[in-house]
Homo-oligomer: A and B are copies of this chain.
């Protein structure tokens, strides 16, 4: 069952999208204290280069390590796809991204062996999901698509109606034609568009949410004692952002499912 470790789990993301991962972790591990850092001063990462995303990720991780976290969850798909090697090389704690858990869940879920992956331009260009899926289940047929408009649609709350429907049709039409039976939602924002995506793809396509798959793997690390568990009692939550905590009530309600009246603000640039 592992040892007791009262230190928090650290989670970072480029902005507020990772709150969907935090939500899955909080639902599964209510006793664990957690610290979330959203780099809202530099959001989005998905359209930026691997070099820049790695630099920002190392700085986010350094902030969380300074909060004495016992495990680092990289909630951002773009950061997970390019920065994990650098993070693992430089940190003395376990580091878990969202790509490998999502790829493993999709490889298990597909019956036909034809899988789709959608993500930001940065995630898709990195090839990280493609490599993880090929390694989990050689011979899978993959269809990938960068969907840059889904993030602003989700952030602005355009998750129903003709606009997201037409955009989803443009992005997903070809992979639906190709006969995928499983789609990896390779960006933390995409679960908010789940209804529109399901409508476009039909009831026979399984949608894999990396947030849920990542929570599963955190559970395995706790079960195996790789990371100690906190003692019982509701785990404290700290949410820290690098810019504009004013929008947090609205965005946290949408992404976290709890309305946070305020978030802490830190400037990590000089750190």
Residues of A with Cβ closer than 8 Å to B? 40-43, 47-49, 51-52, 148-149, 151-153, 155-156, 158, 162-163, 166-167, 170, 243-244, 246, 269
Q: Report if A49-B152 is in contact (Cβ < 8 Å); known contacts: A163-B163, A163-B166.
A: no
Quote the shortest CB–CB distance from A187 to chain B (angstroms): 14
> Can you offer 22 A-B residue contacts whose CB atoms are under 8 A?
A40-B48, A41-B48, A42-B42, A43-B47, A47-B244, A48-B243, A49-B243, A49-B244, A49-B246, A52-B244, A148-B152, A148-B155, A148-B156, A149-B152, A151-B152, A152-B152, A162-B162, A162-B166, A163-B166, A163-B170, A166-B166, A269-B269
CA distance A108 to B163 in the complex (A): 36
CA distance A269 to B58 in the complex (A): 15
4 shortest interchain CB distances as A-B pairs: A152-B152, A49-B244, A52-B243, A41-B52
Quote the shortest CB–CB distance from A161 to chain B (angstroms): 8
* B residues less than 8 Å from A152 (CB atoms): 148-149, 151-152
Quote the shortest CB–CB distance from A163 to chain B (angstroms): 5
| Other-chain residue from B40, B41, B156, B167 in contact with A163 (beta carbon distance below 8 A) | B167
CA distance A40 to B152 in the complex (A): 17
* B residues less than 8 Å from A158 (CB atoms): 149
* B residues less than 8 Å from A246 (CB atoms): 49
Which chain B residue lies CB-closest to A170?
A: B163
Quote the shortest CB–CB distance from A205 to chain B (angstroms): 23
Which chain B residue lies CB-closest to A48?
A: B243
Which chain B residue lies CB-closest to A43?
A: B47
* B residues less than 8 Å from A48 (CB atoms): 40-41, 243-244
CA distance A52 to B246 in the complex (A): 13
Q: Report if A153-B149 is in contact (Cβ < 8 Å); known contacts: A41-B48, A41-B52.
A: yes
CA distance A153 to B150 in the complex (A): 11
CA distance A51 to B265 in the complex (A): 12
Which chain B residue lies CB-closest to A242?
A: B52
CA distance A2 to B163 in the complex (A): 53
CA distance A205 to B42 in the complex (A): 36
Quote the shortest CB–CB distance from A15 to chain B (angstroms): 9
